[in-house]
Amino acid sequence: MIGSHNYFTSSIGKKQIMALTGFGLVGFTLSHLLGNLLIFLGPDAFNFYAYKLTSNPLIYVAEAGLLGMFLLHICLAVILKLQNMAARPHGYYVKNRTGRGETIASATMPYTGLILLVFIIIHLLNFKFGSNYPTTVDGVQMRDLYRTVVEYFANPLYVVWYVFAMLALGLHTSHGFQSMFQSWGINHSKYTPIIQAASLAYGVVVAFGFSALAIFCHFQN
């Protein structure tokens, strides 16, 4: 049996925690997409939703949890990558020779992950900590986030950057989603193909959904 100390230092322990934090991030991303779809309904619907969300005191707990998951996910990814490289100095050679199930998505995980890290930092600076216009919906004063978002996407270069980053997101999550199940030892001849299909569908939905929003916002200017 594996002790708790060994669990966290073992490679499988790290992979399972990466899978758990990845699961949380995948859940956040889907709920963020669903909430953002209110942009299609216009300023009042979106601003009111964002107001309700941010005026709930539990938001601070959710944000702390999200940040924690994000940092843990990145730190473990870097540690696992370094350990992997140290254990296999000729990693690429060995990997190509065995050639087990490498896909574009799995081979590019570190690169798409890095793009997402850069994306998140820029995203938070532009939106969460971006321009703060006031508006009133049903007599309640709140932040006009709709205007902040629409103004940002007036620049076509930002739309292109978002679509590029969303492709990275789609690739990263479409591999990450299915590998979560592998890390937890769920490997079944009947269910694994279904998990793989669901994983691909998830990646396509988030990539297209967020990209469509950025393009839509561009044309609201």
Binding site for ligand HEM (CB under 6 A): 29, 32, 36, 50, 54, 63, 120, 123-124, 127-128, 145, 149, 162, 169, 210, 213-214
Of the pair 170, 183, the CB lying nearest ligand HEM is at 170
Of the pair 128, 188, the CB lying nearest ligand HEM is at 128
Cβ 152 to ligand HEM shortest distance, Å:
8
Residues 116, 166: Cα–Cα separation, whole Å:
9
C-beta of residue 91 within 8 angstroms of C-beta of residue 117? no
Cβ 183 to ligand HEM shortest distance, Å:
20
Of the pair 95, 218, the CB lying nearest ligand HEM is at 218
Cβ 175 to ligand HEM shortest distance, Å:
15
Beta-bridge partners for 142: 135
125-130-135 Cα angle (round to 5)? 155
**144 contacts: CB under 8 Å, gap ≥ 6:** 43, 47, 133, 134, 135
C-beta of residue 34 within 8 angstroms of C-beta of residue 49? no
Cβ 139 to ligand HEM shortest distance, Å:
20
Instruction: State residue 135 phi and psi, 5-degree precision.
Output: -150, 170
Of the pair 55, 84, the CB lying nearest ligand HEM is at 55
